[in-house]
A and B are shown apart, each in its own frame.
Chain A
Amino acid sequence: MLETVVFYALALLILGFGILVVTSRNTVHSVLFLVANFLCIAILYLSLGAEFLAVIQVLVYAGGIVVLYLFVVMLVSLRGLPDGPRNSRRRTRLGLAMAAAVLAEVSAIVVSASARPAGVPAPELAAPSLGNTEMVGWLLYTDYLVPFEVASMLLLVAMVGAIVLARKAE
């Protein structure tokens, strides 16, 4: 009962904030709605039992990436953001049609998957002796060590690239 209420409330908030992100005219408001969206998604992860993912979502996504977006918005708005002309109607209709196509495709997958009898769910592991964080860490460092190292290289490359790109030409 509580799970149902929590899920529907969170779903409403997530989708509501998502729509507000996309439709706000003021860019700073869009960024703030994005933060609220991410925080609600973090609570959703908590309700799914993914505690480590929830704190990483708040720490990295809401507390790092969106701060970066906000910084850029501030730096850009120092000179004033001009409001461009609105989209032509043809473009709006085309965009909505493509989004509808994506939604139809994804819903088709979901509906067909739910119609099929559920596959054999994995046997419930005997009460996990390790906590969620330990299991995630265990997997990261044993089975998925190579992707982990590659991800760290990726972050290093991105860091160097961002610095080089955003540097003032001397």
Chain B
Amino acid sequence: MIETYVVPLLKIVVLLNAVLVSVTYMVLLERKVIAWVQVRLGPMRVGPYGVLQPIADAIKLILKEDITPARSDRWVFTLAPIVAMVPALIAFAVIPFDKEASILGYHVALYVADVNVGLLYVVSVTSVSVYGIILAGYASNSKFPLLAGLRASAQLISYEIAVTLMLVSVVVSAGTLSMVGIVEAQRTSGVWFAFVQPVALVILFIAGLAETNRAPFDLPEAEQELTGGFHTEYSGMRFALFYLAEYANMIVVSAVATTIFFGGWLRPFPNVAALGLLGLIPGWIWFILKTFVFLYVFIWIRATLPRYRYDQLMRLGWKILIPICIANLVVSATVVVLLQR
């Protein structure tokens, strides 16, 4: 009774709180890192070194007036940010932070659920978040957000194919779809899948950038400088939901990439006993460190690269990435079959 209901509930509560807090602090992290790249300091006034800045931002957004456009569809207008945020949060249910940890004497597995089709679950759930963008554009009852929303969602569904094909390549190497199973496969084979499938890692990273509307593929957001993008008519807490949903999606992509390419909770060189000293650091700290490195690279790329034009973006997704993905899948399947002989 307690095992089936109370423990997962507690895990969900802790996880949601952790995710929401870290998403809020991602905002500060991004502003700071981009500032340092541009040889300036970023937010420094609120709290020591600007540490309390996200709280100030949150208070500002909560206290803003809630405006709904004149003849918009009120239900859909309210639903769109929710549909954008919820899939990003749900995807955390299958991400394993550690195999097992003992908290207060209980042995708990640090993941909410180990679904047999965990990786596919993550992909399918993030594909539902496309609706948030389309509905936001539609509900704003105005031409520019509608077109911007359609463009952004066309970009998302184009790069979804590249992401799915690359995940399938990893599944071919690992032999299982379950997230915990993939990390275990990396432990038994002794090498992180980043070295077994480097092409998949690079393409997953690029497609992940496009999936989360991050630079250099952030034309839907850059329209903010031109007209407004799909969240023109949103203000206050609803806009905050879109903003946070983007960061939550980033964290999901980083966490998934960490799990399947960088060994999840395994320490570097998991089978080399000489480095056993590294095993003193608990697995979930390794996981958070690796995810953090990924997030840092996301922000670093945003600060460095100029953005793609829309037709260049679509050409890259369809004409360049998908053929490479298919070739990678064929090659990795062939290698796996040959190695099994």
Contact = CB atoms under 8 A, between A and B. Distances in A.
A59 B124 contact: yes
Given A74-B134, A78-B146, A52 B117 contact: yes
Interface in A23-44: 26, 28-29, 32, 35, 39
Contacts of B117: 51-52, 54-55, 132-133
Interface string B88-131: 00000000000000000000000000011100110111011011
Interface in A5-63: 26, 28-29, 32, 35, 39, 51-52, 54-56, 58-59, 62-63
B138 A58 contact: no
A147 interface: no
Contact of B130 (A28, A29, A58, A67): A67
B210 interface: no
Given A74-B138, A78-B146, A131-B116, A58 B131 contact: no
B180 to A, nearest CB: 13
Interface residues of B, number: 31
Nearest to A132: B116
A63 B116 contact: no
A54 to B, nearest CB: 8
B12 interface: no
B124 A63 contact: yes
A138 interface: no
Nearest to B123: A59
Chief secondary structure at chain B's binding surface: helix
A144 interface: no
A64 interface: yes
Interface residues of A, number: 26
Given A28-B138, A58-B125, A59-B120, A35 B150 contact: no
Interface in A67-107: 67, 70-71, 74-75, 77-78
B177 interface: yes
A63 B128 contact: yes
B259 interface: no
A149 to B, nearest CB: 16
Given A28-B76, A55-B117, A74 B150 contact: yes
Interface string A117-131: 000000000000001
Interface string B214-236: 00000000000000000000000
B175 to A, nearest CB: 9
A150 to B, nearest CB: 20
Contacts of A54: 117
B120 A70 contact: no
Interface in B134-178: 134-135, 137-138, 143, 146, 149-150, 153-154, 157, 160, 164, 176-177
A67 B138 contact: no
A67 B146 contact: no
B115 A51 contact: yes
A55 B76 contact: no
Contacts of B123: 59
A7 B130 CA distance: 28
B73 A28 contact: yes
Contacts of B154: 71
A78 B75 CA distance: 20
A58 B149 CA distance: 21
User: Which 4 residue pairs spanning A and B have beta carbons closest together?
Assistant: A63-B127, A59-B124, A58-B124, A55-B120
24 contacts: A26-B73, A28-B76, A28-B138, A29-B75, A32-B135, A39-B128, A51-B115, A51-B116, A55-B124, A56-B124, A58-B124, A58-B125, A62-B127, A63-B124, A63-B130, A67-B131, A67-B134, A67-B153, A67-B157, A70-B134, A75-B150, A77-B138, A78-B146, A133-B116
